[in-house]
Amino acid sequence: MNPQVEAVVIILALIACFLVIAFFLIPGMFAWLRRLWSPAFFAWLEPLVFWIDNRRRQEILLQPFPTQWREYLQKNIPNYSLLSGADQAKLRNLVQIFVAEKHWEGCRGLQVTDEMKVTIAGHASLLVLGMSNNFFPRVKTILIYPGGFRVPRDPQMADLSTEGGTMPVLGQAVHRGPVILSWPDIVNPRNEAGTPMNLVIHEFAHQLDMQGGPADGTPLLSSRKLQKKWRRVMKQEYDRLIEESKEGRTTLLDAYGAANEVEFFAVASECFFEQPVEMKRQHPELYAVLARYYRQDPATRWLQHSSY
């Protein structure tokens, strides 16, 4: 082979390898560097790095938002009607991108419908409504079951229903993998205590937690000051839930959050969006750090549209 041609082939091969590696590593590298350096620096750098994704998303948004999809949001996302017109429009954009970018798969013969996609996308997008350019990049696939399912037992969880090394669940968020959900428990959201729950918010809160690495109960935070306050408040509230659960007290936060710090963050996120007024009254510091992280104030939205 001609030496010049060979050199060109090698260069092209190296460029191809770099692009493949960058595709998988850049989101993780950004998440890791955010923890070590100024988040503000990456706020302007990200559009330069992810311009291909941004261009594709702009093309997605050129398509009109289906009227039926808007009806699904109004019917299945209670928070949607509480949003301002601008935030409703932003949520619809997020939903449109989310539905287009994820691979959807029904399990046990379940046929995935647009209503399922839009409902799941709506709840998940609510979490990142106040953030910029967070489209759950690590989540490529959504698996939907027609009911609960079993997964390998978590050694950190005490579950009396463990059977053959597996345990029953309604949802699961896999690190660098899919989110798995039971559809009936999304449209009929009640936990064992009969209090409101939000399965999608719970599992996607885990995904936010895992954007900087394996889940530990602390997602990527915007400043060291918030990190310091987060650690103090979360430990205090987590310990409080453990103590109240041991004493058998009725708690606003689902007692499942006492299992570990990871579940506590997910449970607290559910409560933040589903019972924000009560959380702000009973757990003001916890509400405050979650409001700073999510950059939203759902309690005010609820109060403006209710008789509290």
Could you report the per-residue pLDDT of 20-76, keeping only the tens digit for each?
455 444 555 555 555 555 445 444 445 445 667 788 899 999 999 999 999 999 999
Per-residue confidence (pLDDT) for residue 23, from 0 to 100: 46
Per-residue confidence (pLDDT) for residue 249, from 0 to 100: 92
Taking the C-alpha atoms of residue 133 and residue 39, their distance in angstroms, rounded to an integer, is 13
Percentage of the residues of the chain whose pLDDT score is greater than 70:
79
Per-residue confidence (pLDDT) for residue 212, from 0 to 100: 79
- Tell me which of 3-7, 53-57, 229-233, 239-243 is least confident: 3-7
**Residue positions counted in the chain:** 308
DSSP secondary-structure letter at 104?
E
Per-residue confidence (pLDDT) for residue 7, from 0 to 100: 67
Q: Which tokens hold the place of 49?
A: 């790095």
Task: Please report which residue ranges of 106-223 form alpha helices under DSSP H.
Answer: 114-127, 184-187, 199-209
Please calculate the CA angle 145-149-155 and round it to the nearest 5 degrees: 140
Per-residue confidence (pLDDT) for residue 121, from 0 to 100: 98
What phi and psi, each to the nearest 5 degrees, are found at residue 103? Answer: -90, 125
Question: Residue with structure tokens 């009396």?
Answer: 160
Q: H or E segment at 173?
A: strand 171-173
Please say if the pLDDT value at position 185 is more than 80: yes
Calculate helix-pair angle for 261-274, 114-127, nearest 10 degrees: 100
Average pLDDT over all residues of the chain: 85
Q: For the whole model, what pTM was predicted?
A: 0.81
